[in-house]
Structure 1
């Protein structure tokens, strides 16, 4: 068994990327993810790989485009306003069908907002963010260990489907320290990158990486191909956790990331008062785990409550998943305010009517 080490989330995710075979990292400093770039600036040259601090977030994502087009594993990281600046490049990468990993350590917004943790980039991550009909696979870890584990998963998913994958954490997850281990995993059988623009290599013609289709018939055919790929991802890559959902429940919380851990404490508090509450924790924010709702919808008396560090974003996907079968409630804090277990418990008591 690998020895556990105490690491800050931002630094752990950098080390995990190195273990996953990341050859290039391009980034730009922005709180609260700057330690990712700082860590990679020290470590990547020591292991013979490329670190480059770009002159801007726009430059960084286009460097990712270039390295991904050459067929190497590449990663970038940023925080909310920086991801907005990368959005055009992310759309190009998705359109060109290039694999890469993008890390967003979310801070409060809109605008410059603040540097405290938030989940208000949910729409940006799961509904596109940039222009055109594309999707990102979005993984939402709830611990530093999951951040580490999901990096390997993200690179593998990206290579398997030729698509960008986002890992979305928050300021708490990036800054907290927890013990982690870097597990050696068996290598997955992944498709060879015969499409990469990396020289002739025995081919008669050079590969060309492109997302421009001037004929509408060709662009529609390309979009149809992308949508077919997204349907395949929806079949194969959905991930979620069901917590305390085995028996009849008064209510089911839906929450992700670090906030799901806080919700688990609220569930324990409520249990002492005779109120039984379950939790659906989406791990893939896209593809969204609709099947989890089908498993518990008949077990909950008062329906569902989406608990978020936003003004209400994931609640729309909860409503779509529930599809009118039960009520859907919402509780959120914004601007970097983090709900406490007691606040969540009080909100739930107001819905279910106090102790049973």
Structure 2
């Protein structure tokens, strides 16, 4: 780790990606993530990499496909409606098992929506906006430091699982500033021989040194497609066993459990302190992975828990649906939310918690 420096979120994300060995970036401007491509346009060439501003999100993701298929460490970044445009190709990348890291700095929607922070992309990134049987691995940071650590780690996870990985940071984290210690810079594999040594599947050109291979996403015989899906599906089962990650806050004696992620979890932590000062025993589970969802965290909840509350920035309680699913009706589940770019504050969370619990 380097010494801490005060950085804006989006610029820190870009620095962390370069330190992780990213040498190729493709993107298209959209608020509130524009500082990522701005930084990459200035600095990536200095690291021996290449920056291309595409003509659209569709162009960006398909350029990224080519570079990643050739074995490069590739970063994409966008915001909610831009990610929506990329979904078909994210499905394609999953199908051909090409690793890529994508940062989604979430904004309000639906449609073009607003430029303010939101968490209404939860279902988009966890359930998959593209077609077919696949998953994207999704990390959810609650601070700039954690975002940098997750981005750095995401490149290794993408390579290990040969799958797209999304780092889902709401607009607040992208736009605020915090002290950050950046992870140490890694040496990037560059050139056909170096890439082939670590990614033997990559399309580096065989030069009569290996059998030809290709990437194929077309299976017109349904039994062949079914067999192909069966071949790669175990990695998702492995991810569910090994990648679930979460933070626990004051759960030992909690009678009420918040579930919150991203910057909203920081608001919930302040509300917990205020509620406990009034004698209401509240704790929290903070998912660090949105997929695989940290179901194991909820297995620890005991009979002392009386109520679970999802605290999030989406209208219908997108996170809440997964919370209800893993709890299977064991506890009542309620929702505290804002949406459309509106944010929660600790006082509102405290007041609405009391309303739910009917505490005066």
TM class by smaller structure:
over 0.9
Q: How far did residue 139 of structure 1 move?
A: 0.1
- What's 1:211 paired with? 217
- What's 2:182 paired with? 182
Deviations 1:226-278 (A, max 9, x none): 3211101111111000001122x221000000100000000011011111100
TM-aligned CA distance change 1:80 to 1:279, over 3 Å: same
TM-aligned CA distance change 1:12 to 1:231, over 3 Å: same
> Take 1:16 and 1:209, find their aligned partners in 2: how far apart are those partners?
29
Instruction: Extract structure 1 runs of 4+ deviating beyond 2 A.
Output: 183-187, 201-207, 351-355
The yes-or-no answer on 1:313 pairing with 2:314 is no
Equivalent residues of 2:26, 2:61 under 8 A apart: yes
- What's 1:32 paired with? 32
> Take 1:202 and 1:137, find their aligned partners in 2: how far apart are those partners?
36
Deviations 1:24-75 (A, max 9, x none): 0000000000110000000001121010001110000001111110011101
Q: How far did residue 133 of structure 1 move?
A: 1.0
Of residues 225, 228, 242, the one that matches 1:222 is 228
- What's 1:242 paired with? 248
Equivalent residues of 1:7, 1:180 under 8 A apart: yes
- What's 2:350 paired with? 345
Q: Which runs of 5+ in 2 are unaligned?
A: 188-194
TM-aligned CA distance change 1:54 to 1:186, over 3 Å: closer
The yes-or-no answer on 1:232 pairing with 2:238 is yes
The yes-or-no answer on 1:90 pairing with 2:101 is no
Q: How far did residue 142 of structure 1 move?
A: 0.3
Equivalent residues of 2:16, 2:183 under 8 A apart: no
> Take 1:266 and 1:319, find their aligned partners in 2: how far apart are those partners?
22
Q: Which runs of structure 2 are paired with 1:94-105 in the superposition (5 Å)?
A: 94-105=94-105
Equivalent residues of 1:145, 1:180 under 8 A apart: yes
> Take 1:297 and 1:107, find their aligned partners in 2: how far apart are those partners?
36
- What's 2:191 paired with? none
Equivalent residues of 1:100, 1:165 under 8 A apart: yes
Q: How far did residue 2 of structure 1 move?
A: 2.2
The secondary structure found in structure 1 opposite 2:241 is helix
Equivalent residues of 1:142, 1:257 under 8 A apart: yes
- What's 2:275 paired with? 270
Equivalent residues of 2:245, 2:288 under 8 A apart: yes
TM-aligned CA distance change 1:296 to 1:186, over 3 Å: farther
Q: How far did residue 315 of structure 1 move?
A: 0.6
Q: How far did residue 193 of structure 1 move?
A: 1.0
Deviations 1:281-309 (A, max 9, x none): 000000000111111243312x2011110
The secondary structure found in structure 2 opposite 1:281 is strand
Q: How far did residue 12 of structure 1 move?
A: 0.2
Equivalent residues of 1:250, 1:352 under 8 A apart: no
Q: Which runs of structure 2 are paired with 1:329-340 in the superposition (5 Å)?
A: 329-340=334-345
- Pick which of 2-11 and 217-226 moved more: 217-226
- What's 2:155 paired with? 155
Equivalent residues of 1:106, 1:118 under 8 A apart: yes
- Pick which of 174-183 and 219-228 moved more: 219-228
- What's 1:52 paired with? 52
Q: Which runs of 5+ in 1 are unaligned?
A: none
- For normalisation by structure 1, the TM-score amounts to 0.95
> Take 1:297 and 1:19, find their aligned partners in 2: how far apart are those partners?
42
The secondary structure found in structure 2 opposite 1:13 is helix
Equivalent residues of 1:104, 1:166 under 8 A apart: yes
Of residues 299, 304, 309, the one that matches 2:308 is 304
Root-mean-square deviation (CA), in Å?
A: 1.6
- For normalisation by structure 2, the TM-score amounts to 0.94
Q: How far did residue 313 of structure 1 move?
A: 0.5
Equivalent residues of 1:53, 1:60 under 8 A apart: yes
> Take 2:357 and 2:231, find their aligned partners in 1: how far apart are those partners?
46
- What's 1:284 paired with? 289
